[in-house]
Each structure stands twice: as C-alpha cells, then as structure tokens.
Amino acid sequence: MAMQLINLSRSDLVDYTVRQLENFFPAGRVSVGTHIDKHLDESLARLQKCINSVRCWKENQFHYLHSTQYCIYLYFLSNTIWRNGGDVEVCTKLFLLNKALNGIDCFYEIALPEKFFIGHSVGIVLAKATYNDYLVLYQNSTVGKNHGVAPVLEEGVVMYPNTAIIGRSHVRKNSILAQGVSVINSDTPGETAVFRGPEGLLFKPLQQDVLRDIFRLDGK
C-alpha cells in the first residue's frame, strides 16, 4: 500500500518543503525542488517503513504537521539525496532546516536504522555511530564520540530524556537507559534497565517489554 499524505498532495509536499528551504536559506546555486522531487518517492518509502513500525502512529499515513513525523521525513530526505550522490548543498539545507524546526542535530551522513522512534526531538544530538533497529530517542539524548571513537548501539536501545552514550561504548541489545544515565566508554550487558549507581552504572532485569509498547514487533 502506498503512503497516504494527509491534507496535501505529493506536489504540495515538494512545494511546501521547497518554500521552507527558500525562506530559511534564500541563497543557493542549485534548484532544491528538482532534487527533492527526484528523491522524494524513495524517501517516503523509507519513512513509511519507519512510521508503520511505530504502534501509536496510523500505518501508511504521513501528516506533514505531525512534528516528529516531519522531523523523520527531513532526515530520510536529506540522507536519501546524499547516499544517492545528490547535491550536498541541498542535503545541508535539509539538515539545517531540521535543526531549526525541530531542535535536532542529525547530520545527513548518519546512518539511522529503518525502524526508530523519536519521542520529542528537542535537544537530540547524534554522532556518526553504529545504530540498529528499534532505537528510541527522547529529548536531550546524545550519542557522541570521544577522541574520535564512536559507540555501538545494538537493536532495541531506548534512550530516555537526558541520557548519553559516548565514546568506546557497546550498548547491547534491549538496553533501556533510565533518565539521566550516561554511558561513557562503558558497555551494557543487554536485556537490562540501566541506572546510575553510587559507583557507576547499575543494571537491573527488565520489568516490562518497553519495545513492544512502542513498536509493532514482528508486524503485530
């Protein structure tokens, strides 16, 4: 089933995105509309897969006034244009537009997974790290390098507000970071909730299936 665009057509979406870019960044040497139109269908297909994985969102529907969905749309559009060899000026403008509108720092070269969820985008900062499906990001969560070394996030990592994963860290499958936790040059065992302890990280068995509350796992 094709993605349904709520309250606007495909051409309207192209025009809407172009007008935002021209308003924020009026100077430029390339026609942004041409690049957006060329790569839009692939970007929307990627967005559709992501939206359909999230339990609280209606499947196969994208609303341009849903701020989180639009945030993810701008990321997929910028990343799709970049990985297909498109003009980096357009990619950069889309990245900066996302930063201006949604307060997220997610560069177009970053390889986010097919299926992820953003609770609130404000203050999210993402480095070029290793990401996997069923990633959950809330406000003020940070993934960053330390001395050029980036962390590895396995499948099902949940970052609640004000969390950080920095440096030579390996955050294993189904690690749920409680609010305010920082994993710095450290590893998690996976299948655990991660808290701040008096002497470092504290790991506890999971009490609920957080991922199943957020995602349609196995299509359910």
Task: Give the chain's domain count.
Answer: 2
- CA 101, distance to chain mean position in Å, is 14
Residue 198 lies in a domain: yes
Choose one of 102, 134, 152: the last residue of a domain: 102
Range of the domain at 61: 4-102
The span from the CA of 131 to the CA of 28, in Å, is 32
Q: Would you say the pTM of this structure is higher than 0.75?
A: yes
User: What is the arithmetic mean of pLDDT over 49-61?
Assistant: 98
Tell me: do 79 and 134 sit in the same domain. no
pLDDT of residue 83: 97
Q: Reply yes or no on whether the pLDDT at 220 is more than 70.
A: no
Nearest to 186 by CA among 174, 205, 172, 207: 172
pLDDT of residue 49: 98
Tell me: do 38 and 83 sit in the same domain. yes
pLDDT in tens, 96-143: 999 999 999 999 999 999 999 999 999 999 999 999 999 999 999 999
Tell me: do 98 and 126 sit in the same domain. no
Contacts of 75 (CB under 8 A, 6+ apart): 98, 106, 108, 112
